[in-house]
A and B are shown apart, each in its own frame.
Chain A
C-alpha cells in the first residue's frame, strides 16, 4: 500500500533488468515527475544511469555505447517519438516501459519501426501517478471538470492514473462513490470498466477482506481547501506552494542563489520526514534544535590549528557538516519565510476567525470578527476574500445572512473583482445545494453530543480545531457505518466486514490537511491502511483556480458592473 515504494520498485526493476553498463533514462514530461518524486539523482547514479533525457528533446546525440531505458506514458505523441527514435536509434539497445496499458496496434507500429532490432524489452509498468507520500498520490491535474461534468480528456487521464495505482499496489477493489456527485459516479464506472476489460491484469491473490476504493468529490467539502494551515507540509504548500516536492523561494526577499528552489522530500530529508506533520510552533523549536546540533558539529574555530587533533576533528566532521549545512540552511530559510509571511499577513488572527467560521455556529460573533478583519489593512486580498467565502459557505441559508454587506466591504477595501466574483462562484461550487453530506451541523445524536462535549472542554489549539469532512467519512467507513444511501457500492456486491485496505480518491483535488488526517487515521487504526489520492493536491490558490476552471465564475454582485470579462478557462 506504499505508493512511493511501488513506483520506486518499478524504477529499480527497470534499471536492474537492463543489466550492467552505462545507461540513459529516456522519459517524457510526466514520467520525469514520477521518477524524480521517488529517486534522487545520486541514488540513481549509483545504478549506472548517467543521463536523463526527454524523448521529445532534439538535442540528443547518438551514443551507441549507452543502453536506453524508456519510461513513457502510452500517449500518441510518445509512441510517435519512439517510432522516430527506433528508426534512427541513438543508443545501442532499448528497454521500453510504458506507464499504463498500451494498445496492440501501437505495439505493432513500434515493432515495425524497429528495423535494426534494438528493442530488448517492452513492458507495462504502472507508475502512472505522482507518489507524494507513502499514503498520498496525485495526478497533477488542475481543472478536471466543466461545471458538474468531467472534461473527457481529464476523465481518461484520471481513470488511467487511478487504475495504475490499483495495479501498482496490486489491488482489485470494490468501489463506492459519493452519490451526490455525478463525476464520482462516472469515474467509478470508468474504473470498473477498465478492471473488467483488463481482468487478467487485475487477477491478484484474494485477500480475506477485499480492498475498497472510495471516490469522493471536492465539492462536498469546499471548506478544507480554503483554510490556512499550520502543519509544516500543509503550511508550506499553502503559503509557498509545493510542486513535485519543489518549492520556489525566488520571491523570498534576499534569498541566496542556491536556495531559489529547494526540494522537500521526506524520502531523503530526515528533518522534513520527522516534522512534516507537526505544527508550526513545534517546527520552530525543532529548527532551533537542528541549528544547535549543526553548530555543535561545526568545527571549532579557535582550536583549529592548535593541535593536529583539532584538525583531525575537523576533517572527520567535514562530510557530516556539509550534509547538515544543506539541511539547516534549507529549513531555516523555509521556516523563516513562513514566519515572515505569518507576521506580514496577520495570519494568526485570520486563521482564528477562519477556524471559528469553519467549526462553530455562532453567527453574530463570526460576522463581527470577519467585519473587524476586513478593516485590518494587513490582511491580504486573498485572505479577506477567503474569510467572506467561508462565511458565505457556512451561513448560506442563515436567516440574518449579511453576505451582500460583506461583499460591499470587500469592494470598499479595494479587493479585485476577480476575488469578489469568486465568493459566489465558490458557493455555487460547494454550496448547500450541491453537498451530499452536512459540513456544518451534524444531525445524528452521537455527533451532536461529541460537538457539545468538545464545546465544554474547550479547544486545545484554536488554529487546528478544524477536522476535514474526510476524517469523519473515513472514520465511519472504518467502523462500517458509512451509509450505503449516501455512498453506494458500484455493482451488486457489498462489503460485509470492515474494510482494511482503503483507497480514497477525491475528484477536484485533495489537500495536505486531509493527507494529515489520513496519516493519523493510519496510525490510530491497527490493521487499517488508507491511501489518499486526488486529481491534484490543493492549496487555496489552486483550489480557486480549480473553481474558476470548472466554469463557476460567479455572478457579479453589482448590477452596474461592466460586461463579463473574457473567460479564463483553458
Chain B
C-alpha cells in the first residue's frame, strides 16, 4: 500500500495521471496505448467487477473535486495549476513516447585486429629482453672474473661492431678515446656513457621471476585468453634455468640502453600494478556490498512497516524492529566506511595527489547521498501500544465503513446491475461473498459515527473487499483491488496535503514577520552583541549570589542557552532566502561567532546530571525560554545566521572548483526528500492545535494513514512524549548531522548536535518520569 508515501508536489506520477491503466496502474503515456493496453490485458477480466471499480474511482475523483472546490481559491488555483500539465491534443515534447537508444557502431573488432598485430611484435621484444636478462643474471656475478662475464654477455646477444657506430645513436656525440663506446647487454647496441642506463640485480630478478610466475599461471588450462593484462607475456617457455639465489650484497649492475631500460621499467610497473590493490579499492568494495545489502533489505522493511502502520497483522512487529535495527547498522557501517575512504592518506607524507583526494571526497559524497535517500526513506514503526491501537481502529473502521457502504448501496441500487444482489446482502448482518460480481463490505460491528470524507469510505470499502476476495481465494481480483486501493489512498493523501498547506499559511506569514525583525536586529546589533554577551554573564553571576543553589542555577542558565541554540535553527533556515543574505551579515567576522560553539560542548553531560538531581522540572524551563527569544540579552540567536551563510558560501564556491558539472546543493537533498514520512502530514500537528480545524473531514476516524494516528496520540497525550518517537527523532537528527558534516556546514552540525543532546536529555527525563 502506498499510504505512507503520498506524492508531494511535483511527483512525476501526478503529471502522468491521465494515462494510467485503471486496473493495473501501468503508465502508458498516450491515450491510444492505454486503449490498446486495456483491450489486450484486461478484456478477459470480469466485466462487472471492472464496471464497479471504475465507478468507485470516478466517485473518488468527484469527491476530490468537490473537496477542492471548498478549499480556498488561492490554494486551489496555485498548487493545482502550477504543477498541472496541459493537453491540447498534441503532445508535450516532454511526454513523447520513449525511444530506443540511438544508433551506434562498434570499431572494436577492427581495433583488436590492428592491436593484435602490434602487440605480438611488442610482446616478442619484451620477452626477448627478459630471456636475455635471465641469462645475464643466472650465474654468480660476484665470483666470476670480469673477462668471463664479458664472454657470457657477448654470448647472450651479439654486440654491434664498434667501427659501425661513430656517433652515439641517442645523443649524437662523437665517440673518441674520452667518449668511449658502451654496449647494451640486452640488445647489443652502442651508446655513450651519458646515455647508458643500468639495471640493478634486484630489478632483474623481480622481472624474471615475475615472468615465471606468469608462465606457470598461464599455462594452466583455465587461464582466460581474454584477460587484459600480461596475458601474452607468459610465452617464455624456453626458460629452463632457474635464476636461483642472487647475492644481495652484490651491487653489480647490468648495462643497457635507454630503450631497453624503458621497456623493462614499463614491464615492472605492470607487475607492480597487477599485484597491488590499493586500500581504497578494498574499502570501496566493502562499501558497495553494504549498499547492495541495503537495496535488498530496505524494500522488505518498508513493506513491513507500511503494513504494520496500517494496523495489519501480516507481519510481526518485533521482527520488523529487528530488521530496522539491522538496516540501520548497515547504514552506520556505510557511513564509517565512506568516512574512512575520505580520510585515506590524509595524514601521510607526502599528501596524496589532489585528484585522489577528490575521488575520495566524491565517494564519500555519493555515500552520503545514498544514506540520505534510503535512511530517511525508512519509515518509523508504531510502538507496541500504538500498534494495538491501530489494530483496533482498523477493525473498527472496517466495520464502520461496511455499514455506511451498505446504506449507500441501498440508495443507488438502481444504477448497478449487481445492486439487487447487494441490496439483499445488506439485510444480512455479516457480509459474505455472494458472487463474482463484487465484494461486500464487512459489517461485523456497526457503530454510529459520521465520516465526512467519501474517499475514506471508499478506501475502507475496498479494504474489506480485499479481505473477502482473499478469503475467497480470488487472487487476481485481490491484486486489482489493491491497486485500486492504492490509487484511492494517493488521492486521499493529496487532499490532506492541500489541507495542511492551507492551514499553515497563516503561520508562515507570522514567521515571515518575525524573521524580518530578527534580521534587523542582526544587522543593527551585531557589534553590540558581544558586549552584551559579556554583561549578561556578569549579571548571571550576580544573580548567582542570591541563589542558594548557585551551581544549579547556572545549569539552568546553560540550559537556556541550549534552547537558544535550538532556536537558532530557525535562522539557519533563512539562509535560503535571498533577502536575509544582507551584506552586513556576510561581513561579520567569523571570530565572534566561534566563541559560543566551545561552550555548550562540555555543558550537556554536566548539566544532565545536575538536573536530574535537582527537583526542578526542566520542562518548564524549556517552555518558558522560547518566549524570551527576542530578548537582546541572548546574543546567540543572532550570532549564528551570519556564520552559516558565510561558511555555506565558502563550501559552495569550493565545490564549484573541482566540478565540471553543476553542483546543486538542493540536488543533494533531493534524494532525501523522498522520505516516506511526508512532512506535510506532520505539518498538521501545529495546524490542528492552533486552528481548531473543525472543517477538516479527515480528522476523526482515520483508518489507514499512520500519520493520522500519530496526530491523534499527540493530541490526546500532549505532554507525555513517546519514547519511541524520541528515539526516531534522534535517528533523524543523526542523519542530518551526518549530511551537514559532510557538506562542511559545521555550524549546522552544531545546532543539530544541540538538538540531539536536548532530545537525549528529554528522553532521559521521560524515563525518569515514568519511573516515578
Contacts and interface: CB of A to CB of B under 8 A. Distances in A.
Interface of A: 1-2, 5-6, 9-10, 13, 20, 22, 27, 32, 35-36, 39-42, 44-46, 48, 50-52, 54, 59-61, 63-66, 92-93, 101-102, 104, 107-108, 110-112, 114-127, 133-135, 167-170, 201-202, 204, 245-246, 254, 256-259, 261, 263, 265-266, 268, 270, 273-274, 286, 289-290, 292-329, 332-333, 336, 519, 521-526, 528-529
B569 A299 contact: yes
Given A6-B99, A40-B664, A311-B755, A301 B567 contact: yes
B478 interface: no
Contact of B362 (A32, A51, A310, A529): A51
B96 to A, nearest CB: 5
B96 A304 contact: no
Of A13, A245, A295, A301, most buried by chain B (CB within 10 Å of CB) is A301
Given A304-B626, A308-B725, A167 B664 contact: no
Interface in B256-302: 266, 270, 273, 277-278, 280-281, 284, 288
B685 A320 contact: no
Given A303-B686, A323-B669, A316 B677 contact: yes
Given A59-B355, A322-B669, A258 B653 contact: yes
A236 B682 CA distance: 37
19 contacts: A1-B93, A22-B359, A45-B365, A45-B369, A46-B369, A51-B355, A108-B110, A114-B115, A117-B231, A120-B228, A167-B103, A273-B94, A299-B570, A301-B511, A305-B563, A308-B759, A316-B677, A317-B683, A332-B578
B463 interface: no
Interface stretch (B56-64, B82-90, B469-477): B82-90
B578 A300 contact: no
Given A45-B365, A317-B682, A39 B93 contact: no
Contacts of A295: 508-509, 511-512
Contacts of A115: 118-119, 122
Given A20-B288, A305-B622, A521-B90, A123 B107 contact: yes
Interface stretch (B43-51, B173-181, B385-393, B729-737): B729-737
Contacts of A60: 355
B325 interface: no
Contacts of B242: none
A104 B664 CA distance: 41
B682 A201 contact: no
Contact of A52 (B96, B363, B370, B659): B659
A119 B111 CA distance: 9
B692 interface: no
Given A22-B284, A123-B108, A304 B570 contact: yes
B355 A61 contact: yes
B298 to A, nearest CB: 15
A112 B114 contact: yes
Contact of A42 (B567, B577, B671): B671
Contacts of B229: 116-117
A5 B98 contact: yes
B578 A296 contact: no
Given A296-B504, A313-B683, A524-B90, A326 B576 contact: yes
Contacts of B220: none
A234 B280 CA distance: 47
B673 A319 contact: yes
A61 B359 CA distance: 11
A287 B268 CA distance: 63
B105 A201 contact: yes
B247 interface: no
A522 B93 contact: yes
Contacts of B672: 319, 322
A101 B277 CA distance: 37
Nearest to A13: B101
Interface stretch (B153-161, B480-488, B644-652): B644-652
Nearest to B122: A115
Contacts of B26: none
Given A257-B653, A311-B729, A313-B683, A65 B508 contact: no
A116 B230 CA distance: 8
A526 B87 CA distance: 10
Nearest to B274: A64
Contacts of B10: 270
Given A32-B660, A525-B90, A304 B576 contact: no
B356 interface: yes
B556 interface: no
Given A51-B355, A112-B115, A305-B622, 8 more contacts: A42-B366, A52-B661, A114-B118, A201-B105, A266-B94, A289-B82, A293-B9, A305-B566
Contacts of A168: 102-103
Give 4 nearest A-B pairs by CB, closest first.
A325-B576, A326-B666, A111-B114, A168-B102
Nearest to B276: A64
A319 to B, nearest CB: 4
Interface in B94-130: 94, 96, 98-108, 110-115, 118-119, 122
A306 B666 contact: no
Contacts of B152: none
A64 B281 CA distance: 10
A273 B501 CA distance: 23
B8 interface: yes
Nearest to B763: A308
A305 B660 contact: no
B118 A111 contact: yes
Contact of B228 (A50, A118, A254, A294): A118
B686 A313 contact: yes
Interface string B317-336: 00000000000000000000
A368 B266 CA distance: 79
A364 to B, nearest CB: 39
A289 B79 contact: yes
Residue of A108, A118, A120, A336 with most chain B CB atoms under a 10 A cut-off: A108
A98 B616 CA distance: 73
Contact of B359 (A63, A286, A327): A63
B666 A327 contact: yes
A123 B106 contact: yes
Nearest to A53: B355
Contact of B668 (A42, A44, A112, A325): A42
A356 to B, nearest CB: 29
A313 to B, nearest CB: 4
Contacts of B280: 65
Interface string B726-754: 10110011001000000000000000000
Contacts of A61: 353, 355-356
B362 A45 contact: yes
Given A110-B111, A311-B729, A302 B626 contact: yes
Given A61-B356, A274-B82, A309-B714, A321 B508 contact: no
A127 B96 CA distance: 19
B376 A298 contact: no
B577 A10 contact: no
B369 A42 contact: yes
Contacts of A118: 228
A306 B103 contact: no
A117 B107 contact: no
A2 B576 contact: no
Contacts of A46: 366, 369-370
Contact of B118 (A112, A290, A302): A112
Contacts of A528: 90
B569 A304 contact: yes
B755 A322 contact: no
Contacts of A202: 103
Contact of A323 (B82, B99, B670): B670
A126 B104 CA distance: 7
B623 A306 contact: yes
B138 interface: no
B514 A302 contact: yes
**Max chain B CB contacts within 10 Å: which of A51, A52, A201?**
A51
